[in-house]
Amino acid sequence: MPGPAESDYRGGMASSPVSIDDLRRRLVAAQQGMQAQGWGCLLVSPGPDLRYLTGYEALPLERLTCLVLRDGGLPFLVVPELEIAAAEASPVGSLGLDLLPWAETEDPYAKTADMIGPLTSAAVDNHMWAEKALPFASALGDVPLQLAGPVLSSLRIRKSADEVTALREAGAAIDAVHERMGEWLRAGRTEREVAADIDRAIIDAGHVRTDFVIVGSGPNGASPHHEVSDRVIEEGDPVVVDIGGTTAAGYCSDETRMYSIGQPPAEFLEYYAVLQEAQWTAVAAVRPGIPCQDIDAIARDIIAGAGYGDLFIHRTGHGIGLETHEEPYIVAGNDRQLEAGFAFSIEPGIYRSGAHGARIEDIVVCGEDGPLLMNDRPRDLQVL
């Protein structure tokens, strides 16, 4: 394969949760971003943005929990009375964030609006449920709500050294699952049976949650988002295995490797060689300053040059961090230049409808001098 040796791209392992100082810096940066947009407040409900800013992994439930950043005041956390202990046990306690508790019979939206005071604009995190965003808009005096996504993703898109370590640990955990694939994947079993074994192994390998398990055997491999079915895996099947989970640190893994049960069809091997070259060439091209769309084009041009362009039917990759899919997207039209610390997948695929398909996926961090690989399982077809 072209490019430097795979081992050149891997660094050491260490474990490191986010420090309170880092959380403080993130809160300040979010507040500055809010002010630069001219928003009067920024409301963040439970989810990846709240976890990024406060370390609090609150469950998204019907009762309102919400971080409030505001112009001209300290941030505070709106929290149901019965969840005060949980909030204080999280990094929210060490951060010393002010709490605005509300009792079961109170209206938390009105109480929050009173605390904030009059404003002319407000922003909400992109994942805030409509059942919270609409009452907020109304309680705040029908101000127009903006999506805070651009401000928050501009912070989350650059991973710190600690976050890269967390992604590397997630990558090593999912590598460990792929390494065991031969224990489960064989002719005569259904995709669903194999997926159940993989699901357990994802937890055993150090994730706290399985996010998805795709086992696409034979013709099912030609559907990029096929998950599993009751199809019985047959001798000669190529099998797409695309799996991911979330670790205790909150960071996601996502890795696709290709397997075959015995000898696959000759046509499959022809395009698999093309795919492998496309994927690895795109990985090797990662460096600061190259636009996202150029990474996509590098993979796509190799596949198209070999005559398979019509069979590569999705973007080349997506950012990853506290969510499996986040910015930056590696896609035509995205001229954003890569910067050190951007983390994303490179996962071209070739899909021969009705017959079989292939995808190879690695998580890559853009380093100062080139790509840092979070996965290191062999990219050659694994014949079981």
From 241, 377, 254, select the one nearest 326 (Cα to Cα): 254
Question: Which one, 54 or 345, has the nearer CB to Zn ion?
Answer: 345
Sequence-ordered list of residues with C-beta below 8 angstroms from that of 35, at least 6 positions apart, any chain: 71
**CA–CA dist 110, 146 (Å, integer):** 19
Smallest gap from residue 212 Cβ to Zn ion (A): 7
In Å, how far are 47, 49, 82, 132 from 44, measured between CA atoms?
8, 7, 19, 11
Question: Which one, 52 or 344, has the nearer CB to Zn ion?
Answer: 344
Question: Which one, 47 or 319, has the nearer CB to Zn ion?
Answer: 319
**CA–CA dist 262, 271 (Å, integer):** 17
Asked if 247 interacts with Zn ion (CB under 5 A), we say no
Question: Which one, 123 or 343, has the nearer CB to Zn ion?
Answer: 343
Asked if 345 interacts with Zn ion (CB under 5 A), we say yes
Q: Is 161 exposed, middle or buried (0-12, 13-18, 19+ CB in 10 A)?
A: exposed
Stretch that binds Zn ion, among 168-176, 249-257, 291-299, 368-376 (CB under 5 A): 249-257
CB count within 10 Å of CB 85 equals: 11
Smallest gap from residue 345 Cβ to Zn ion (A): 4
User: Under rule CB under 5 A, how many of the chain's residues touch Zn ion?
Assistant: 5
Smallest gap from residue 315 Cβ to Zn ion (A): 10
The only residue of 191, 237, 254, 326 in contact with Zn ion, by rule CB under 5 A? 254
Side chain identity, residue 170: A
Stretch that binds Zn ion, among 78-86, 241-249, 293-301, 349-357 (CB under 5 A): 241-249
Taking a C-beta distance cutoff of 8 angstroms, is the pair 12, 94 a contact?
A: no
Distance of alpha carbon 105 from the chain centroid: 38
Residue 55 φ/ψ region, left for φ over 0, alpha for ψ in the -120 to 50 degree band, beta for the rest: left
Question: Which one, 56 or 342, has the nearer CB to Zn ion?
Answer: 342
Smallest gap from residue 41 Cβ to Zn ion (A): 34
**CA–CA dist 333, 4 (Å, integer):** 28
Residues 8-27 interacting with Zn ion (rule: CB under 5 A): none
Asked if 163 interacts with Zn ion (CB under 5 A), we say no
Asked if 242 interacts with Zn ion (CB under 5 A), we say yes
Smallest gap from residue 236 Cβ to Zn ion (A): 24
Question: Which one, 256 or 316, has the nearer CB to Zn ion?
Answer: 256
Site string for Zn ion, 355-384 (x = CB under 5 A): ------x-----------------------
Kindly state the tokens that stand for 163.
Answer: 């976050």
Asked if 281 interacts with Zn ion (CB under 5 A), we say no
Contacts 24+ apart (CB under 8 A), 84-90: 86/58, 87/56, 87/58, 90/54, 90/55, 90/56, 90/57, 90/58
Interface residues with Zn ion (CB under 5 A) are 242, 254, 256, 345, 361
